[in-house]
Structure 1
Amino acid sequence: MDNHTSTEPNVGDVLFYVRTCHLVTMLENSLYRAKSAKLQCSNVLVPKELTTRVAQEVLKLSLNEPCGLRGCIIYVSLESNNKQAVLDTMVYDCSVEPTFELKLVLKQDTRGWDYLRDLIINRTCFPQLFTRVIKLSNKFHISKRRLYFSVIGAGNEEC
């Protein structure tokens, strides 16, 4: 009986972790750029683990794609008061023709935030810092659309 347990990480787990980190960084950078360019706000409050959960969902949706994550294009929007604003378009690998697209809809959380923000604004020396703060919800929606037709017996897609 072998009691030796391997302490080496599984290559698949390492790749999943690296890709998750890369997607998280891409999404955070996208939100940072959208903050002033599209949202005209001073801060975007992002719930802990939201970007990680989004990244993991994107990875799951790319598993059965011919080019995997490299063939992904992601359209990022923010939903607020039943209206959507397009924030950014993220391409994982610009050298690969997209084979599928994801539409990511982040949701604004207004529950209780308006009251708290008003309380801060009225009791602080710097009310202008809190007037345009957007708080994201833990909830998001992601939909997928393939950009190719699957043909039985067709050759492999070159990625």
Structure 2
Amino acid sequence: MSCSTPESAVLKRPSWGKMVQKLMDFNHADDTKPSVSSEKRDSGYFSEILTEDPFEEALCAEIVDNLSEILAEASARAVGWSRLIVPDQLVEHIGQELLHLAAEEPCGLKGALIDLCVENGKNFQSIGQLSVDPYTVPTFHLTFLLRPDLGGLWPKVTRRLSNSLRLSTGFTAVKKKLYSSSEAYIEEL
């Protein structure tokens, strides 16, 4: 299950300024509410998984924004299509999974190295990589294996007419702890 990386793969890092601003916005939110800002509550992110750490939630929101940018800028031509269509639910599920998979890590989300790959036939093609914190040695590597939406007749018709690939809301998450010799953790969503 290797993920080949093309020369055009993007290495992105979250903006600390944006993350600090989100943390400050969180601190000004009503303290009597659960520990999630109204912006995140309204957007649907983290509706199932909440942490007690507002920094982790702000960092996760920033990571999700950066992953959305990577997906928006991804050259679908690398997987044989002219355009990649990303459903909002996919991005929300990835955000929830990020919080879930980082919960037991010593550095939390700051220790994550994240790869996004799209299924291309029997292989997966890398479309981007994100190093969460350039000043923290990564403690775990997450690979999100995204699948095309192949259900029903409509995706097949639109794929042929517009030469676009719509991603499914389901994906496979592979987690490898970099500080341990344990096996990779695979979760199918």
TM-score normalised by the chain length of structure 2: 0.61
The CA deviation at 1:37 is 7.1
How far off its partner does 1:63 sit?
1.2
| In 2: Cα distance, 1:66 partner to 1:37 partner | 38
The equivalent of 1:68 in structure 2 is: 108
Q: Percent identity?
A: 29
Shift in Å, 1:49: 1.7
Query: Matches of residues 2-21 of structure 1 in structure 2 within 5 Å?
Result: 7-10=32-35, 12=52, 14-15=54-55, 17-21=57-61
Where does residue 136 of structure 1 map in the other structure?
167
Runs of 4+ in 1 over 3 A off after TM superposition: 6-9, 13-17, 36-42
Structure 1, unmatched stretches of 5+, are 1-5, 122-129, 151-159
- Give the letter for the 2:101 counterpart: L
Cross-structure match for 1:100: 140
The 1:71–1:16 alpha-carbon spacing in structure 2 relative to 1, beyond 3 Å, is closer
Deviations 1:47-80 (A, max 9, x none): 2321111111011111111111101001111013
Does residue 86 (structure 1) correspond to residue 126 (structure 2)? The answer is yes
Q: Which runs of 5+ in 2 are unaligned?
A: 1-30, 37-51, 182-189
Q: RMSD between aligned alpha carbons?
A: 2.4
Contact 2:148 2:166 in 1 (8 A): yes
Size of the alignment, in residue pairs?
A: 134
- Provide closer, same or farther for how the CA distance between residues 13 and 114 of structure 1 changes in structure 2, counting only shifts above 3 A: same
Larger Rg: 1
